[in-house]
Amino acid sequence: MTFPRTRLRRLRSTPALRRMVRETRLSADRLIRPLFVRSGRGVRRPIGSMPGQFQFSVDVLAEECAATAELGIPAVLLFGIPECKDATGSAAWADDGPVQEAVRAAKSRVPDLVVITDVCLCEYTDHGHCGLVVERPGGPVVDNDATLELLARMAVSHARAGADIVAPSDMMDGRVGAVREALDAAGLSATPIMAYAAKLASSYYGPFREAAESPPRFGDRKTYQMDPANGDEALREVAADIDEGADIVMVKPAIHCLDIIRRVKDRFGMPTAAYHVSGEYAMLKAAAVNGWIDERSCALEAATAVFRAGADLLITYYAMELARWLRAGD
């Protein structure tokens, strides 16, 4: 490549030319909107650390699902907040639980919307951990193997309620296989699994824990979520979930794992999702409120970066705004 014969700026001179040669294109049909559902009626409770996000009751959430579909967003990801929590998270598989009721309401209101449900116990346990806690000589620990049966019961309950996809996010070893086996045994072999395959023990989940009312009462989640320093281990996690029956694999958080997204897509060629998490969202919102950034251009750039890295799907709290901006021609 020699200058002046080669001038890369030639194809940047007008907006039309830039659009023509753009390598990564954003589309609303690659977005997934996370939603939080709780009991009650007419509830639209703001989440303080996540401006623009809310906890919804089932009736309001059904209307939100309709608005989501109208913008061309094909899917939502549901998180439930039960009225009562206990040591085992038993509300997670209750037929009248918030997620189960929300799935039925969403599918009734918008049948073609893809409804994905988060499968994890942290929102349902009184201790806030993602699995069953047992006492050991050195103190309480999350029992990996005892947790698998509970996650499987939760996934089957969601699928029976009508969930299109179940998404185990707990990071217990073997949970994808346990969920797959339970779904198949229940006659639900057509239900796909979207595995939180490479989920790092990130510091950027803080606002989510307010939204889902799920901070751990003791310790942290570093004994089951991945060390953020480990990229090779992320590939081992993804490989294990694929072997156990995952249909879609996910990397989380998105912006801080662009290298892992690229490696996962290159290595496995699987449908790959990335989760633009609550802290990543909240930082953009806070900077925009202070006038330090242009929110729209930064959010669009962040989404572009995730897809450029290799993601096929993006779970983001910006889903509605991104869809509106894209519809307006951004």
pLDDT band at 330 (very low <50, low <70, confident <90, very high): low
Strand locations in the chain (E): 31-38, 44-46, 54-57, 75-81, 114-119, 133-136, 139-142, 165-168, 194-199, 248-252, 272-276, 313-316
Known catalytic residue at 85? no
Out of 107, 199, 265, 285, the active site residue is 199
What is the reported pLDDT for 317? 98
pLDDT digits over 221-245, tens only?
999 999 999 999 999 999 999 999 9
The structure tokens listed for 158 are: 């969601």
Known catalytic residue at 265? no
The structure tokens listed for 315 are: 């779970």
What is the reported pLDDT for 44? 97
Mean pLDDT over 134-154 rounds to 95
Q: Domain 25-327, what architecture? A: Alpha-Beta Barrel (3.20)
Tell the residue number behind the tokens 């950034």, with chain if given. Answer: 293
pLDDT digits over 170-222, tens only?
999 999 999 999 999 999 999 999 999 999 999 999 998 888 888 888 889 99
Q: State the DSSP string of 253-280.
A: SSGGGHHHHHHHHHHH---EEEEE-HHH
Listed by start position, the domains of the chain span: 25-327
Q: Could you tell me the pTM of the whole model?
A: 0.96
